[in-house]
Structure 1
Amino acid sequence: MSLPDPRRQKQLMKLLERLELPPDVSVRWDLLDLALTHSTVSPTENYEQLEFMGDAVVRLATAEFLMETYPDWPVGEFAALRSILVSDRRLAQIADRYGFDRFLLVGSSVAGNRAGQETRLAESFEAVLGALYLSTHDLSLVRPWLDTHLQEFAEEIRSDPARQNYKAALQEWTQARYQCRPEYQVQEVSQIYNDTKRFRAEVWVRDRHVGSGSGRSIKAAEQAAAQEAFLLLSQSSNPDLDSHLA
């Protein structure tokens, strides 16, 4: 079904061209228009619900990609890498490559304001994925162009393990399995500014110590502790550990 405003539909057709989708593709234009409408334009007719759907879509598409591309990986590695690939930063990068800001309708209160731009790009990106999915109820309009970016980012992250965000991965894993967030305790153990073990962090899940790590900064120490805990928990087959945390 065409949009009432032919100029808006022509604009959205240009976006599909950038995504290299065929011109005769079956798309719900009303949903695509909604996916690129910010709440500052309309408090009710905006992308928020489609963003909710798109959040699930991008996770599913990324999970399929990872399992097909790296079939021998343990599930822990899948979860760690996916948490980075679906982060706002990465999704905003992809949206920026396609110039989503040119198609996103925003109110005058945020137009031209760079504050929050990354969040808006990531949210509208997820909403567009939601609209494309609901147009076909499969990933046929998503993966043909999204896989290219996932491949690029995955290889970049794999070549530099320090880019992996184990804190985000651990939180996602514990929330999904135990409905709780990890807690960190950090101590400064050295007064030397450049000491790579200046801070020591411990991470706890349901009052159980599950990992430790050191780093030059608090953030680095927490990441090191999260990495140890994440690899332990996500790859563990120890029933005592699972029963203790359950």
Structure 2
Amino acid sequence: MIHNLYLQFTKKLQYLFKNKDFLDEALHHRSFVNEQNTAMRDNERLEFLGDAVLSLVISHALMKRYPDLKEGDLTVIRSSLVNERQLACIARSLNLGDYILLGKGEEQTNGREKDSILSDALEAVFAAVYLDGGYDVVFKVMESLFSEKIDSVISESEEHYYKSQLQELVQAAHYSTPFYTVISENGPDHEKTFVVELKVGKFTTRGTGKSKKKAEQNAAKIILGEIEKKGLKS
């Protein structure tokens, strides 16, 4: 990689390689290597390793940040973070497409914008950081890159969390099915407040929120607290 481009990318990545060869290999797409007359390696081996590094680091980061989440919830959240679309989004935030070396065919078909090429190259970069700096370094780099994505996915998950927890609890105990009813909607369309009543057997409560879903979640959260105190006895 040309020195100026190397410095630009490592500044965005917030990591300076000790061995620049790792990064060079991570940015060599197969289409580019196939057009060369040298024994140059493409980035597919690093992509293979990077996929494993990605899964480990994201799993570790989620367990560290959310120690109370169950294994099933962690798995769902992780799958929302390590897919091609999310990886390509992070790659674009680094302008990674500007630094990948592509063959003429991929250049002509706008390969620098393809999600598959960007996500594969990003995994290869993660592997390069791991090989060059070790686990603690790649964890720090990736945690920084994924921080906002993790918060966003967690926020979306919370929209369903308490209702799901309540549903699982009553089903396991063969208890009454939760029943939600919208009691009122107040305020203008752009700033409504919803009130939802929730009945579960002997338990009844109300939750409020800026959306029907949020009000239902708040009601489910209250009921879960009551169940924890009193238990599910008919």
Which TM-score tier does this pair reach, normalised by the shorter chain?
A: 0.5 to 0.7
Partner secondary structure for residue 118 of structure 2: helix
Moved over 6 A (4+): none
Do the aligned residues in 2 keep the contact of 1:27 with 1:132 (CA within 8 Å)?
no
Name structure 1 gaps, 5 residues minimum. Answer: 1-6, 165-246
1:109 maps to 2:105 = yes
For the structure 1 residues 69 and 105, does the alpha-carbon distance in structure 2 shift closer, same or farther, using more than 3 Å as the test?
Answer: same
CA distance in 2, matches of 1:157, 1:28: 34
CA distance in 2, matches of 1:163, 1:49: 39
CA distance in 1, matches of 2:2, 2:159: 39
Do the aligned residues in 2 keep the contact of 1:9 with 1:29 (CA within 8 Å)?
no
- Identity over the aligned pairs, expressed in percent? 28
Do the aligned residues in 1 keep the contact of 2:17 with 2:129 (CA within 8 Å)?
no
Residue in 1 aligned with 2:23? 32
Do the aligned residues in 2 keep the contact of 1:88 with 1:122 (CA within 8 Å)?
yes
- Equivalent residues, number: 154
Residue in 2 aligned with 1:139? 136
Amino acid at match of 2:48: F
Structure with larger Rg = 2
1:126 maps to 2:120 = no
Residue in 2 aligned with 1:58? 54
CA distance in 1, matches of 2:56, 2:26: 19
CA distance in 1, matches of 2:44, 2:21: 14
- Give CA-to-partner distance per residue, 1:140-159, whole Å, 9 cap, x none: 1x233322342212222222
Aligned equivalent of 2:5, options 7, 11, 16:
11
Partner secondary structure for residue 104 of structure 2: coil
Residue in 2 aligned with 1:237? none
Do the aligned residues in 2 keep the contact of 1:61 with 1:139 (CA within 8 Å)?
no
- Give CA-to-partner distance per residue, 1:202-230, whole Å, 9 cap, x none: xxxxxxxxxxxxxxxxxxxxxxxxxxxxx
CA distance in 1, matches of 2:85, 2:148: 15
Q: Return the structure number with greater helix share.
A: 2
CA distance in 1, matches of 2:17, 2:124: 17
CA distance in 2, matches of 1:120, 1:26: 22
For the structure 1 residues 123 and 74, does the alpha-carbon distance in structure 2 shift closer, same or farther, using more than 3 Å as the test?
Answer: same
Amino acid at match of 2:130: Y
Do the aligned residues in 1 keep the contact of 2:17 with 2:23 (CA within 8 Å)?
no
Do the aligned residues in 2 keep the contact of 1:28 with 1:132 (CA within 8 Å)?
no
* Segment drifting more, 130-139 vs 103-112: 130-139
Residue in 2 aligned with 1:77? 73
Do the aligned residues in 2 keep the contact of 1:28 with 1:131 (CA within 8 Å)?
no
Q: How many angstroms does 1:10 deviate by?
A: 3.4
Name structure 2 gaps, 5 residues minimum. Answer: 35-39, 161-234
CA distance in 2, matches of 1:29, 1:64: 27
Superposed counterparts of 1:1-246, under 5 Å? 8-21=2-15, 25-43=16-34, 45-114=41-110, 117-140=114-137, 142-161=138-157
